[in-house]
Structure 1
Amino acid sequence: MNLHLQGKVAIVTGGGSGLGAGISEVLAEEGAHVVVNYIVDEKNVLQFVDDLQTKYRTHCTALYGDISKAEDIEQVIAQTLAAYGQIDILVNNAGIWPTANIVDMDDAAWRKVIDINLTGTFLFSKRVAQYMLASKIKGRIINTTSKSGFTYSTGGHAHYASAKAGVIMFTKALAREISPYGINVTGIAPGMVRTPMNTKELAVSEAEYVKRIPVGRISEPREVAYTVAFLASDKADFITGTTLDVTGGMLI
């Protein structure tokens, strides 16, 4: 199926590793020009972007930016527009997944997770939506949420789950406001994906996680990225304001 993403310009936050890297690669494979936003591991991100360009013959760029800071986001947007002249797709993927029980959680740790996982999505979406509306772009904003935004199962991640639940509602709210102008806003809710973020947890208890997944295995980033590519395409024109379950059945 041709998703008609050739020549589209996509920004993927946290796009240089884990699920974000899978999303960046699938979009590049479909012919999109990808701006890979990152905050750590610069050397490897730059190499990843070079590899994408060589493999898929699209123009990809790595841009540093802390998504919890409005000034960094504005710089990423400005650099993207200077390089490409347009933004068609925003994938709000960057996030953190620390562990702490509520009674032991530092106030600053709570704020940090909310700032990155929820407020960062708001800050980036708002600014890209303003650009799309002013430019009359029929674009896509796709938010990475989580199974944890729908149902809470393991302890130690109250800040993460609260932020992701907020992203699910924010997706609905933004879609309600801007979908009439041809900008579709959707979310994806992965379950357990094999990424550097959860390497430690899977090393200790992968078998226990697999027991909770009806399809019987941990997903790979590319599998989730296929759903993002579909939502970014014109094949998903009539989908907005919803978050798709990509958990392998964990939400059943």
Structure 2
Amino acid sequence: MDFGLNGKHVIVVGGTKGLGKAVCKLFAEEGANVAIVSRHQAACDAVAEELHNTYGVKTVGITCDMGDDHCGDILFEKALNAFDSLDVLVNNAGIWPQAYVVDMKEEDFRHTLNVNLVSPFILCRNFARYLLAQHRTGKIINVVSQAVFHGSTTGHAHYAASKGGLVTFTISLARELAPYGINVNAVAPGIMDTPMMHEILCQKREYYQSRIPLGREAQPEEVGYSVVFLASNKSDYLTGITIDATGGMLMR
């Protein structure tokens, strides 16, 4: 099936490992040009080189710290210098610190909200401004979490709160941008076997698997297909939704 992504220009924030890297690969397989964004230039460049050499698409690695309020301006400037135009933004970067609320430091709560909610807001805003100024349609996909709907059970209340805010922000932005042909959606992963979760999965794999009706954690590519679908022309009539890619943890 042709997803209409050949030649499209995509930004994937948090694109060097786990779900983000899988998403970058899936976009490249579809012929999309990909800007890979993370805090580490060497990691960005390595993924960019791998995708270019394997799939022949244009790629660029962009260093950006999601805790820096000025990061959004730099990111889009570099992406436009590489591609001349932009079509898709995927907000996948995030942090997942652990502390129960009674032990949580206020600065850790604020930092988590800044990285997981404020930074996606800035990037969504800047991308929307670009599309509107250029009279272009486009797609925004925000990666959230099943914890938005279940709450955290393992000491990640700040993470759940930040992703919950991102879901309602996604809905609000979708309403604002729908008249202009700009679709804004979210994907809520469940438990994935990624570097962020690898250590805790090794410690508590049976506990996490017991919460998943399908009985296993997801591989990143399995969740990545939902992201690519929402970026494609097959999702043109979908906006303001959250796809539950959780193996049945969410059933609504």
Pairwise TM-score range, normalised by the shorter structure: over 0.9
Between the aligned partners of 2:39 and 2:112, the Cα distance in structure 1 is: 15
- Equivalent residue, structure 1, for 2:58: 59
Between the aligned partners of 1:164 and 1:127, the Cα distance in structure 2 is: 20
- Equivalent residue, structure 1, for 2:117: 118
Between the aligned partners of 1:192 and 1:77, the Cα distance in structure 2 is: 31
Between the aligned partners of 2:185 and 2:144, the Cα distance in structure 1 is: 10
TM-score (norm 1): 0.97
- Equivalent residue, structure 2, for 1:95: 94
SS at match of 1:150: helix
- Equivalent residue, structure 1, for 2:139: 140
Between the aligned partners of 1:221 and 1:199, the Cα distance in structure 2 is: 12
SS at match of 2:7: coil
Structure 1 residue 150, shift from structure 2 partner: 1.1
Q: Does 1:150 align with 2:149?
A: yes
SS at match of 2:31: coil
Q: Deviations over 1:44-73 (max 9, x none)?
A: 332221111111110111100122323221
Q: Does 1:218 align with 2:231?
A: no
Between the aligned partners of 1:30 and 1:111, the Cα distance in structure 2 is: 38
One-letter amino acid of the structure 1 residue matched with residue 9 of structure 2: V
Q: How well do the aligned residues superpose, as a CA RMSD in angstroms?
A: 1.0
Q: Deviations over 1:126-164 (max 9, x none)?
A: 000000011111100000000001111413111000001
- Equivalent residue, structure 2, for 1:177: 176
Aligned partners of 1:67 and 1:123 also within 8 Å: no
- Equivalent residue, structure 1, for 2:14: 14
Aligned partners of 2:152 and 2:160 also within 8 Å: no
Between the aligned partners of 1:151 and 1:207, the Cα distance in structure 2 is: 19
- Equivalent residue, structure 1, for 2:39: 39
Structure 1 residue 16, shift from structure 2 partner: 0.7
Between the aligned partners of 1:21 and 1:150, the Cα distance in structure 2 is: 25
One-letter amino acid of the structure 2 residue matched with residue 251 of structure 1: L
Structure 1 gap ranges (5+): none
Between the aligned partners of 2:212 and 2:171, the Cα distance in structure 1 is: 27
SS at match of 2:70: helix
Between the aligned partners of 1:45 and 1:204, the Cα distance in structure 2 is: 30
Point out 4+ residue stretches in structure 1 off by more than 4 angstroms: none
SS at match of 1:66: coil
- Equivalent residue, structure 1, for 2:234: 235
- Equivalent residue, structure 2, for 1:207: 206
Aligned partners of 1:67 and 1:116 also within 8 Å: yes
Between the aligned partners of 1:2 and 1:200, the Cα distance in structure 2 is: 37
Aligned partners of 2:44 and 2:62 also within 8 Å: no
Aligned partners of 1:17 and 1:45 also within 8 Å: no
- Equivalent residue, structure 1, for 2:70: 71
Aligned residues: 251
Structure 1 residue 115, shift from structure 2 partner: 0.2
Between the aligned partners of 1:201 and 1:96, the Cα distance in structure 2 is: 14
Between the aligned partners of 1:65 and 1:44, the Cα distance in structure 2 is: 12
